[in-house]
Chain A
């Protein structure tokens, strides 16, 4: 089977063609760099995205603290992760890239801040 997709690993957005056999990607073409091949495999076998959002703060200089997962999480967990994030409230100053929740939702990724908030 052949699947067409668009690489999102960088702004080039190469159109990729992936050949799939037995649920696994056997060959990728159309990519201008090796990241494209990696992306196609990942996207077909286990699609993942980095999730970015904000969490509410209390008593800090900014009302919202921007956060992200430090690594991609499975695409089908994104909405669930959002509802978890919406419940959070941060009440201590944080530095950029500081871990807020380790092993977020048991997904093997950390939820980290993306801005220093005093």
Chain B
């Protein structure tokens, strides 16, 4: 049986970033993911903010990795062709007395080296953010805050990691781990794997993986965050990310810009027990709306076009990133709550350092492909360019999702790059994510999937087994020929 050098459990942004970073070295690497596609855990449902480092204490792991991750993300996004945009953030206050809190946030951030911080006053705000509530008296401006598409980041990291030799196994849920000698034997729903080092990046389920090797002191609790997307027509509602003052458990309800253009409001922060409870609630909606309207009064309930809930994996106040001496070779990377998306590239470097300290020899490959073949998104092109693309390949002119202008060619390309479900297609291409929510394009997408994946339509799922779209087909009933 093949012996891997490193196996990563979990194909979220943490796992994918590590896989890509490790793929620079002469190592045999595999990533195991329980869902049928990557990024179906926490990494698919979050705010997509690349935080500057203004939200966490300078002495915390979160704080340090966030500031570093923010810097690293830029280079990474460029190499992979991910849509990172630096938009800047404002932390706003409604009372003069709150200025002291802004100053202490600024001090902490400066200690982390966050550049460009600036206190801005009413006239500045009026000029740069005309839609903000007139009750806002001042704000701390952090220009390095950015936005990214969180799932596309995961897919792009993984694609590039694969290009550099990482083996990725989806629908492989890890169910058992033993250490028969100086390697791990990992049982999964897709077979047995062996590896010298093991990284646990299983998100919400990180405690269960740790439990499999007898580590009991990690407990992960889900903290729910509901988010509400607004119509794209409001793309320019704000020019920056707008935060209230943070509370002890959360950053508060934010008015967010997203890389797809739709503004978003949220997230709530609700502690719970059920790691699969992704339901949104009336209370959540009302809270988000009321809080967002305090920041930007023009926001209306009717502007909402989509919503979702995500669960943060909380294991105490900070991340847990450590080598387990009681189980040599195992590195836990768990409790990666917010701002885990931002931190991912920095976490990857930190973990590599831990691996080196614990005896993994790291030799750079002669040839590392740092770039990824770009994905042509018709909607992102100016009309003239789009025309050229269509003339070169007719299928780009065959529009499937008309709300978002996604062509048959893009759907096929997404499938070629690993999409096997309707959600996977949506996350990669935006098809079904527009105003009609797939009302018009779902059938066509299913047909293209059936063709490309060589499946009957009845086996096509939203996000894996159990989420089939179709219950029955006439095909199975008809017999007589007229």
Alpha-carbon separation in the docked complex, A87 to B479 (Å): 5
Task: State whether A56 touches B474 (Cβ < 8 A).
Answer: yes
Inter-chain contacts of B480 with A (CB < 8 A): 87-89
| Dominant secondary structure of chain B at its interface with chain A | loop
Report the minimal beta-carbon distance from B458 to chain A, rounded to whole angstroms: 14
Interface: A55 (CB within 8 A): yes
Task: State whether B477 touches A91 (Cβ < 8 A).
Answer: no
Number of interface residues of A (CB under 8 A): 14
Q: Which of B451-482 contact A (CB under 8 A)?
A: 474-475, 477-482
Task: State whether B481 touches A55 (Cβ < 8 A).
Answer: no
Interface: A58 (CB within 8 A): yes
Number of interface residues of B (CB under 8 A): 8
Q: CB within 8 A of A91: which of B474, B479, B481?
A: B481
Alpha-carbon separation in the docked complex, A86 to B472 (Å): 12
Inter-chain contacts of B478 with A (CB < 8 A): 55-56, 86-89
Inter-chain contacts of A100 with B (CB < 8 A): 482
Inter-chain contacts of A91 with B (CB < 8 A): 481-482
Interface: A64 (CB within 8 A): yes
Task: State whether B481 touches A58 (Cβ < 8 A).
Answer: yes
Interface: A105 (CB within 8 A): no
Alpha-carbon separation in the docked complex, A92 to B481 (Å): 10
Task: State whether B474 touches A64 (Cβ < 8 A).
Answer: yes
Inter-chain contacts of A44 with B (CB < 8 A): none
Alpha-carbon separation in the docked complex, A103 to B479 (Å): 20
Task: State whether B474 touches A101 (Cβ < 8 A).
Answer: no
Report the minimal beta-carbon distance from B206 to chain A, rounded to whole angstroms: 46
Inter-chain contacts of B475 with A (CB < 8 A): 56
Q: CB within 8 A of B482: which of A54, A64, A86, A101?
A: A101
Q: CB within 8 A of B477: which of A64, A86, A90?
A: A86
Report the minimal beta-carbon distance from B325 to chain A, rounded to whole angstroms: 62
Please, which residue of chain A has its CB at the minimum distance from the CB of B474? A56
| Dominant secondary structure of chain A at its interface with chain B | strand
Alpha-carbon separation in the docked complex, A100 to B481 (Å): 11
Inter-chain contacts of A87 with B (CB < 8 A): 477-480
The winner among B474, B477, B479 for most chain A CB atoms within 10 A is B474
Q: Which of A93-108 contact B (CB under 8 A)?
A: 100-101
Report the minimal beta-carbon distance from B259 to chain A, rounded to whole angstroms: 37
Inter-chain contacts of A101 with B (CB < 8 A): 482
Report the minimal beta-carbon distance from B218 to chain A, rounded to whole angstroms: 52
Please, which residue of chain B has its CB at the minimum distance from the CB of A92? B482
Q: 1/0 per residue A48-65: CB within 8 Å of B?
A: 000000111010000010
Report the minimal beta-carbon distance from A29 to chain B, rounded to whole angstroms: 43
Alpha-carbon separation in the docked complex, A91 to B482 (Å): 7
Alpha-carbon separation in the docked complex, A58 to B474 (Å): 12
Task: State whether A90 touches B482 (Cβ < 8 A).
Answer: yes
Alpha-carbon separation in the docked complex, A48 to B423 (Å): 45
Inter-chain contacts of B479 with A (CB < 8 A): 87, 89
Please, which residue of chain A has its CB at the minimum distance from the CB of B480? A87
Report the minimal beta-carbon distance from B373 to chain A, rounded to whole angstroms: 35
Report the minimal beta-carbon distance from A40 to chain B, rounded to whole angstroms: 36
Inter-chain contacts of B482 with A (CB < 8 A): 55, 88-92, 100-101
Q: Which of A54-91 contact B (CB under 8 A)?
A: 54-56, 58, 64, 86-91
Report the minimal beta-carbon distance from B48 to chain A, rounded to whole angstroms: 39
Alpha-carbon separation in the docked complex, A58 to B477 (Å): 14
Report the minimal beta-carbon distance from B315 to chain A, rounded to whole angstroms: 51
Please, which residue of chain B has its CB at the minimum distance from the CB of A85? B478
Alpha-carbon separation in the docked complex, A56 to B481 (Å): 10
Report the minimal beta-carbon distance from A114 to chain B, rounded to whole angstroms: 16
Inter-chain contacts of B474 with A (CB < 8 A): 54, 56, 64, 86
Alpha-carbon separation in the docked complex, A88 to B477 (Å): 9
Inter-chain contacts of B481 with A (CB < 8 A): 58, 89, 91
Alpha-carbon separation in the docked complex, A87 to B482 (Å): 10
Please, which residue of chain A has its CB at the minimum distance from the CB of B479? A87
Report the minimal beta-carbon distance from B183 to chain A, rounded to whole angstroms: 53
Alpha-carbon separation in the docked complex, A86 to B479 (Å): 9
Alpha-carbon separation in the docked complex, A86 to B474 (Å): 7
Alpha-carbon separation in the docked complex, A101 to B477 (Å): 19
Alpha-carbon separation in the docked complex, A65 to B62 (Å): 60
The winner among B475, B477, B482 for most chain A CB atoms within 10 A is B482
Please, which residue of chain B has its CB at the minimum distance from the CB of A101? B482
Alpha-carbon separation in the docked complex, A100 to B482 (Å): 8
Alpha-carbon separation in the docked complex, A111 to B13 (Å): 57
A-B contact pairs, 19 of them (CB 8 A): A54-B474, A55-B478, A55-B482, A56-B475, A56-B478, A58-B481, A64-B474, A86-B474, A86-B477, A87-B478, A87-B479, A88-B480, A88-B482, A89-B479, A89-B482, A90-B482, A91-B481, A91-B482, A92-B482
User: Given known contacts A89-B479, A92-B482, A101-B482, what 12 new A-B pairs fall within 8 Å (CB)?
Assistant: A55-B478, A56-B475, A86-B474, A86-B477, A87-B478, A87-B479, A87-B480, A88-B478, A88-B480, A88-B482, A89-B478, A91-B481
| Chain B residues engaging chain A, CB cutoff 8 angstroms | 474-475, 477-482
Question: When A and B form their complex, which 9 residue pairs have the shortest distance between CB atoms, in order from nearest?
Answer: A56-B478, A89-B478, A56-B474, A86-B477, A89-B481, A87-B480, A90-B482, A91-B481, A87-B479
